[in-house]
Structure 1
Amino acid sequence: MDDEEEEIEEPKPKAKAPKTKAKANTKAKAEPVPKATASSSSNDFLSGKKVIVTGTVPGYDRRRAQDVLEEAGANYQASLNKKVELVILGTNAGPDKLAKIEDLGIETMPWKDVADRLGLEPVVEKPAANVEVGNAPDSVDGLTVIISGTIEGQTRSSAQKALEGVGASFAKSLNKNVELVVLGTNPGPDKLRKIEELGIPTCTFDALVESLGLELDAEPPKKKARKV
């Protein structure tokens, strides 16, 4: 009997473990947290605040000063009233305005402080003029005069006509031919410096009216045209 060959069972190769795909990185990289910026509280103190300027602002006309304040967020008011929250004081603010501000109890701040907080370039102020107000003459007949400032209760035209009625001659501009400057309230600082430079005598309108014995009717305020 033939020897049967014993079949040797070869070992089956081990099944290779299935390759696993690398997991996709689905998590987006976190954006860096933006750094907190410093608050601009020092510059937003005017934001939404009802303000008005009184007096002369060195280096700015009234319209430009208003633009600066509105650019800083202020709500500029057309007139001084109880709704105003802050009055910004320039130079030569009228006494009547100051009295009304006090009566209304409105907060005030000098323009210089506002300019500092807004980081505005400083404006070199010209020295104030030293103009002495003289005594009113008892006659203006034949005098060349000019009015500077606001005449309370009168328009410039009505005040001029009243003085022309008693012989005054009005100059078109402030020059060396002017013999008397009649001062109202808030004459401009540039005008005052020129008066000082030319050495022209001055007196107040009220004192002149009293000295000349004039009786003037108060002029009604002009009504502003309504926008349509």
Structure 2
Amino acid sequence: MIDYDVVRVFCGPDGKFGNELGVVRDGAAVADDAERLHLARTLGFAETVFVDDETSGVIDIWTPSMRLPFAGHPCVGAAWLLDTAELTTRAGRVRARRDGEFTWIAAQSGWAPPRTLKKFGSAGEVDALEVPPPGEWVYAWAWQNEVAGEVRARAFPGRGDGIDEDEATGAAAILLTAALDRALVIRQGRGSQIATSPRPGGWIEIGGRVRPA
């Protein structure tokens, strides 16, 4: 069996919840794309990271159904686990830093895969949503406190690969931050927390707490 670590990314203030991430630190042990897809599907996490060069932070990100050039929660989790200041994804180089209990990454908003950002009138409406049928990647959100930049969100990947709802979604949070052009604190899923901040030149910082699973 291939060795892998599991961390929870974007945990809440109490350290609970967060989105589980599998990290295979010895990427060479699963070098073939078909094998990586099979392992990602077998593990069943929203994403699994394969570390191809730990020294330089080269990573490869897979869902149970496809490879992703970039994704937020895998980058935050890998940056924390590898304790690195930079990651190299297929989309580009991702800067990373730690600030207290938060691990932050900076990425271009254009690297995030397309998502449908669907605004609702209240946090209660978001809470009441049923999982939609597969076919569209939907990030449902509403203001919890617009003045304070607090958002309630839920994420529905719609890929039909067993991940009906994503507990905490970095790429979608990046897209929402870019669309609103302001810093946000997002409460997603059952109790995960994502912090974001726009930066000059199309960069978005996204951060959160990471804990071993």
**Is TM (by shorter chain) over 0.5?**
no
In our comparison, the structure showing a higher alpha carbon Rg is 1
- Choose between structure 1 and 2 for higher RCO, CA contacts under 8 A separated by at least 6 residues: 2
TM range (shorter): under 0.3
